[in-house]
Amino acid sequence: MANYPKHYCGVFGIYGHPNAAELTYYGLYALQHRGQESAGIVTCDGKKFRSHLGMGLVPQIFKGEVLHELVGHMAIGHTRYSTTGSSEVKNAQPMTVDCYRGQIGIAHNGNLTNAYELRDELEAQGSIFQTTVDSEIILHLLAQPDAAGDTNNLAKAMNRIQGAYSLVIMTEKELIGARDPHGFRPLCIGKLGDGYVLSSETTALDLIQAKFVREVEPGEIVVINEKGITSIQAFPDHTKRAFCIFEYVYFARPDSIIMDRSVYRARVEMGRQLARENPVDADIVVPVPDSGNCAALGFSLESGIPYEMAYVRNHYVGRSFLQPSQLIRDFSVRVKLNLVKELVDGKRVLIVDDSIVRGTTCKTRVNALKEAGAKEVHVRVSCPPHRYSCVYGIDFPDRNKLMAVNHSLEEIAKYLDADSLAYLSTKGMIAATGQPADAFCTACYDGNYPVPYDSSVNKHIMEQRRQREESLGETLLKEAQEPKLL
């Protein structure tokens, strides 16, 4: 399991453009940070669906003439990191089905908390599942015949599923976007010429030069077709909001805008607030690239301590959480970030990171600084301690493996070999976003889950994650032992 939480998924859709597949490719490229296991694109010309899905990164999957074969003026795309379901191509998205309603494709960002209950119910009714992901449950609900004759039962399906979901759905005639009533996951609308775009983040709109229109509201369904865009509120009486605040802290790209607030500005303000709450005498402020850059800048601006990029990141190193042994994992951490030793030698160094999950990666950072001659190493974290697992789509490890659950601040600092350690307060973190406190889900910090869940289900999810990690580790170890032609 990773020392950092994993990204969940990114979704993208476009309606009314002759180059829908190519634009979706670039949209997914901009959303690659949200998932690096698999990706897929499904297009439609008004009659026929065409799809291409694969394992790996977006440019690895869509090579050669693949995009030219994905014809159509509509497309949906997905980039995935699995939080439920194993890491294999059959679980890649978008998923499609051909039913009595016609062809339906879906891309899902989030996690359903009543997935196993619904799956058991649907299987008892005769539904046959082809994958192990909760997104297929939504597809089955959409494909079910409706006794009332209603041809659009998405609102009814949304009233049956619980948890976190931002959806991009495509039929033969329409592109549809939807968010859960709490608004856990982001989804926005863009305009490109006469067409419309749906995206997890505004950064994808920027890349294809689409104009940002607005965010899809929590509980809202937007239907885009030849008549334009129509809005339906599936939960008119629901007022509780619970946007995942970790988007601001870590997940979203800093060049994205969320709830009218620049992610970059929010992270810089988190760093400023961190400096106000937890000042320290130091000679330089050093970020842990790339996720700590903005907060470290804010800390430097507020404290007046010089900002130095003492870590140089190697962008060509694979993800350390996929490595099969702790020895290789530790080595990968060092390879990924190398120190400019002369900047830290003999200095009191303050390093700023966005989070500490297990603590092993941060410990390696502190050790490297002291080996390079740092006189003192102080650690500051731009969010509160993580003490609870997420059941809404973030791949935090099992709760008993979170460093802050079983150890005090002093014990964590001692484990890290840090001269001091401090976290940003929940109040300070929320204030940096410019939003009211009741706008967010902060369950991973305080255990207050907006949507109730069955703990046995969470246990099952954690077991799936453990099995996936073991499977990935065995595969990579086998590959590493096999001789290769160079």
Give the pLDDT confidence of 276-314 residue by residue, as tens digits: 999 999 999 999 998 899 999 999 999 999 999 999 887
One domain for residues 275 and 235: no
One domain for residues 156 and 270: no
One domain for residues 99 and 158: yes
Comparing 14-18, 260-264, 301-305, 450-454, the range with the smallest average pLDDT is: 450-454
The residue segments making up the domain with residue 302 are 262-434
One domain for residues 346 and 228: no
More confident of the two residues 144 and 332:
144
As a whole number, mean pLDDT of residues 426-445 equals 96
3-class SS of residue 76? strand
Comparing 3-12, 54-63, 173-182, 432-441, the range with the smallest average pLDDT is: 3-12
One domain for residues 303 and 416: yes
One domain for residues 197 and 78: yes
Total domains present in the chain: 2
One domain for residues 229 and 349: no
Look up the pTM and report it: 0.88
As a whole number, mean pLDDT of residues 196-208 equals 98
- Using CB atoms within 10 A of its CB, is residue 326 exposed (0-12), middle (13-18) or buried (19+)? exposed
Please indicate whether residue 9 is annotated as part of the active site.
yes
State yes or no: pLDDT of 464 exceeds 70: no
As a whole number, mean pLDDT of residues 58-77 equals 94
Percentage of the residues of the chain whose pLDDT score is greater than 70: 84
One domain for residues 223 and 115: yes
One domain for residues 415 and 294: yes
CA–CA gap between residue 351 and residue 278 (Å, rounded): 13
State yes or no: pLDDT of 458 exceeds 70: no
State yes or no: pLDDT of 468 exceeds 80: no
Whether 234 is covered by a domain: the verdict is yes
> Mean pLDDT: which of 308-312, 379-383, 392-396 is highest?
379-383
CA angle 236, 135, 226 (to 5 degrees): 60
As a whole number, mean pLDDT of residues 419-437 equals 97
Instruction: Find out whether 228 and 15 touch, Cβ atoms under 8 Å.
Output: no
One domain for residues 117 and 167: yes
CATH number of the CATH domain containing 314: 3.40.50.2020
pLDDT for residue 5: 47
Any residues with CB less than 8 A from the CB of 165 and at least 6 apart, and which? 108, 109, 110, 111, 112, 138, 178, 179, 180, 184, 185
pLDDT for residue 482: 35
As a whole number, mean pLDDT of residues 3-30 equals 87
Q: Would strands 420-423 and 440-441 be described as parallel, antiparallel, or unpaired?
A: unpaired
State yes or no: pLDDT of 469 exceeds 80: no
More confident of the two residues 123 and 476:
123
State yes or no: pLDDT of 23 exceeds 50: yes
Q: Mind listing the pLDDT tens digit for each residue in 395-416? A: 776 788 899 998 999 999 999 9
pLDDT for residue 30: 97
pLDDT for residue 317: 58
**Res. 467 pLDDT band, cuts 50 70 90:** low
CA–CA gap between residue 186 and residue 338 (Å, rounded): 34
What does the mean pLDDT of the chain come to?
87
State yes or no: pLDDT of 260 exceeds 80: yes
Comparing 68-82, 365-379, 426-440, the range with the smallest average pLDDT is: 68-82
SS3 string, 398-433, reads: CHHHCHHHHCCHHHHHHHHCCCEEEECCHHHHHHHH
